[in-house]
Amino acid sequence: MFRMSFILKQKHDGSLILELPIWFRIIFLFIAVLLAAGVFVSGIHANSQWIPILIIIACIGGALYEEKWIFNKSENCISYISGTMLINRKKLYKFEDIEILNVTGKIHSDNEGKINRLRKNMAKFSMVLNSGKILDIDITTGKTDSAELKEKAQKIAAYCGIELAVDS
C-alpha cells in the first residue's frame, strides 16, 4: 500500500508550502489514460462503456484535486486551499489568531496493554486557534512518518515564529 503525505517546499517568495506530491496527480492521470485507451479500442458505443467513462471522470477529478497549506511570513498568515484546481476554497488564518501548533502521537494497544499489530502508531499535526477551534493540518501513521511529520512541524513553527507543542 502506498503512503500519501504532504511534502514541504519553500517557494521563490520565501513562503513555505505543504502540499500533495505530484505523483498523486500522475497516478490518477495514468489510470484515466489507460481506461480511455480501453474505451477507445473497444469502441465508444460498445455495451457497458458508461462504467469506465464514469471512472475516467472520477480519475480526472482526482488528478485535479489539490489540498495545500501556505505559510507566509511576509503576510503573517496561513492559507488553506482545498478543492480542484478549477474550483476551490481558500481560508486565511492570521498568525495572531493562532494560539499554538501541536503535534500529538498515539500508540494503539488492546485492552491488555499489548500493541495491536494491525493498528499503527499515528501522529497528528494541528493548529489551535485562539477561539479554541482545532484544525488538522496533517495526519500520518508509522514511526518513520511520525518523525518526518514532527520535523516538518518544527520547520513550520520556526519559520512562522509560532510555539510548537510536541506530545509523543
Report how far apart, in Å, the C-alpha atoms of 15 and of each of 40, 72, 116, 138 are: 44, 5, 40, 18
pLDDT of residue 47: 72
Which whole number is the average pLDDT over 100-129? 73
Which whole number is the average pLDDT over 29-56? 86
pLDDT confidence bin for 1, thresholds 50/70/90: very low
pLDDT of residue 109: 47
Q: Report the percentage of the chain scoring pLDDT > 70.
A: 87
Tell me the CATH number for domain 7-24+63-167: 2.30.29
pLDDT of residue 108: 53
Domain spans of the chain? 7-24+63-167
> Residue 57 and residue 40: Cα distance in Å, rounded?
15
Higher pLDDT, 161 or 113: 161
